[in-house]
Structure 1
Amino acid sequence: MARRSRVSRVWGRCAVFLAVALTGVGVAPTSGAAVPNRDVTVLTFNIHHGADPDDNLGLARTADVIRDSGAEVIGLQEVDRHWSSRSDFVDQAQWLADRLDLHVAYAANLDEDPLKPGDPRRQYGTAILSRYPILETHNTLLPRSATGEQRGLLEADVMVRGTELRFLNTHLEHTSQAERLSQVKEIDKIVASSTRPTVLVGDLNATPDTPEVGTLTSRLKDTWPAVGKGDGFTFDAVNPTERIDYVLTSPGIQARAAQVLNATASDHRPVRAELRLP
């Protein structure tokens, strides 16, 4: 079973801080005491509702990629929750959390009535999985045009060995650069307000030379140019020719390694990054 499928904003935070106090984690070490290891491995993965490039459903393949990556905090995009027959009406975020024994937070950017009265609401959005406790979550719906798809920014405060990490996950509009620009301006405001070490991951649907990515990297550091090798292309998974999936970090976070995983469980390849928190 998943360690926690619903986040309590008050009791979750209190319980974690009580555990920290009892164990001494996060307390300034006395002479000779070991400093807590604050390395964390993160992953961003557009899972294409659990379907491969040929649209064959196989959520177990998605779970295998996540598990084999060794990632501890994971941002997922294109996640169905009782959405339709294309994903067998499964709550994919909860299914993955149960399968991998991880904490989970989910954000519905599309939220529709069920096909049958009494069934769960049909939702589509993003998710965060974490080996560490999730203290608090919030989803911000991003600007869109009248015809654009609703997108969002899912925020989660994650307690990583006594340090609170703000982990952000998004999926930007793919049809309009103007819309992406308005979305990243909203994200940039949220990033600017963060007082914690912050990681932003996601499918930005934009290459590194675009103004929308430039807006984000004016405040955050793109881990790939710093520690990645090669072109970093992530789309499409079979023959990737574009880098549109990112791990970005706030100042003070040290990127130690980055890798695009050679996986075809989705139409995107996931990006894995090893980070050291301040």
Structure 2
Amino acid sequence: MYSKKLNILFVLALATLMVFACDKQSPFEPDQGPTVDFGAYSPESNGLPAVDVMTWNIYVGADVDKIVEAAAQDPPDPNAVMKAVDIAYKELLATNFEERAETIAKFIADRKPHLIGLQEISLIQRFSAEFIPLESFDYLEILQNKLAGLGLDYKLAGKLDNADVTLPRLTDDYQLEYVRLLDSDVVLARGDVEIADVETAHYQYYLSIPGLDIPRGYVAMSATIGLRTYRFVNTHLESAVEELRLAQAAELAGVLGGVTLPIIMVGDFNTYAPTPTTADPGTVYKYLVNGLEEPYTDIWLNNQVGNEGAGYTAPHDSDLRNPVPHLDRRIDLILLRGANQIGPVQAFVLGDDLNERTSSGMWPSDHAGVFAKLHIK
């Protein structure tokens, strides 16, 4: 039924949803980082080489409810929509990616993964009514600066730009402005990892609403770690429409079908993985793990770190200030295919404990991240 586009008649609500995605004090001082003890559990690797990977949806930082409510009015009220964008933009400022990036960078410094897949890397720009630049937040640049400030050597291995949306904003003093979001998926590689054959592409099936396309895609590359080479893939699948999400997963599986290297696929898959509270996994999960001739292995199911629980990764509150964690789903995954043998897996959820908040008491993102040490033959 789908052409290369899927037209959804929920026009401004979904458009604004893409723009702004998805006062307790922290017990730590600002110069203290998260306290996950990655070295506390080190089972034997059976002689298999280790590769350390991380995935994290880092979140644009604002609530969309008021925008959606305003856009859903019949007939729509453009002033209400613009005011709602203003409210969301203020929340984006309050969730302060500079501060959140500092905590995310400290997580990276704690374990120094070879490869990192990041979703919702944002470029936010604010313009006057005449489109004079007023303010800009480049999340990739901010995070890279935080990593460099910690003495870490990480390079941009691959980047795919997705939705590029500009919407009007009405300020408190009734000034018209515009806010732009450029959403990207990114792979960072540690300096000693050799990267080759980088491929970025958008899926042919994507969400399209009148006047606006919302593409999604993947970043893939061959990564040599020591004497072993892997195909590393980062993706962020469609959240709103399950049929599209499945079509995107099928396209990605087809692209990777002929790859002979071991494949490590990470990302925000927007599909429920099995947990104690999710008896029936999502369609995309079942397709990737059970529905292929060469299925993927969900590494969390082989996790030997017993105190990490069910691996829930979402969601924190949109303002990132919920006083206790209430994550209840596992949608941020690390999947593996093509390994003759999978040795011990040591996997950790990042940003799900109270002592892992930022200096002002925010969670680093509305998603928790996932780190895994894999031993692959």
Q: Report if TM-score (shorter chain) is over 0.5.
A: yes
**Residue in structure 1 matching 2:124, options 77, 83, 86:** 83
Structure 2 counterpart of 1:134, from 183, 186, 195: 195
Cross-structure match for 1:193: 258
TM-score, normalised with respect to structure 1: 0.75
Q: Distance in 2 between matches of 1:66 and 1:133?
A: 19
Partner Cα distance (1:94, 1:39) in 2: 29
| 1:93 corresponding residue in structure 2 | 140
State how 1:255-274 maps to structure 2 within 5 Å: 255-261=344-350, 262=352, 263=356, 264-274=363-373
Structure 1's 150 and 95: CA in aligned 2 closer, same or farther, altered over 3 A? same
Report the counterpart of residue 155 of structure 2 in structure 1. 103
Where do 5+ consecutive residues of structure 2 fail to align? Answer: 1-46, 63-90, 127-134, 167-179, 274-280, 317-324, 357-362
* Cα distance in 2, alignment partners of residues 122 and 145 from structure 1: 17
Contact in 1 for aligned 2:202/2:215 (Cα 8 Å): yes
How many angstroms apart in 1 are the aligned matches of 2:334 and 2:185?
15
Percent identity, aligned pairs only, is 27
Tell me, what secondary structure is at the counterpart of 2:365? coil
SS in 2 for 1:206: coil
Please state how far the C-alpha of 1:70 moved relative to its aligned partner. Answer: 3.1
Aligned residues: 234
* Over 6 Å off, 4+ runs: 50-54
Q: Give yes or no for contact 2:260–2:338 (8 Å, CA) kept in 1.
A: no
Please report the TM-score for the alignment, with normalisation by the length of structure 2: 0.57
Opposite residue 161 of structure 1, the aligned amino acid is G
Whether the 8 Å contact between 1:260 and 1:269 is mirrored in structure 2 is yes
2:136 is paired with a residue of what secondary structure? Answer: coil
Partner of 1:146: 208
Q: Secondary structure at the match of 1:215?
A: helix
Is 1:66 equivalent to 2:108 in the alignment? yes
204 and 214 in structure 1: CA distance in 2 versus 1, 3 angstrom threshold: same
Q: Which runs of 5+ in 1 are unaligned?
A: 1-35, 114-120
Where 1:195 maps in the other structure, the secondary structure is coil
* Structure 1 CA distance for aligned equivalents of residues 264 and 54 of structure 2: 11
Q: Give the conservation status (yes or no) of the 8 Å contact 1:47–1:79.
A: yes
- Counterpart check, 1:241 vs 2:241: no
Alpha-carbon deviations, 1:14-66, whole Å to 9, x = none?
A: xxxxxxxxxxxxxxxxxxxxxx9731111110011478997332222222222
Distance 1:127 1:271 in 2: 15
Computing the radius of gyration from Cα coordinates, the structure with the larger value is 2
Choose the corresponding residue for 2:311, options 217, 221, 232.
Answer: 232
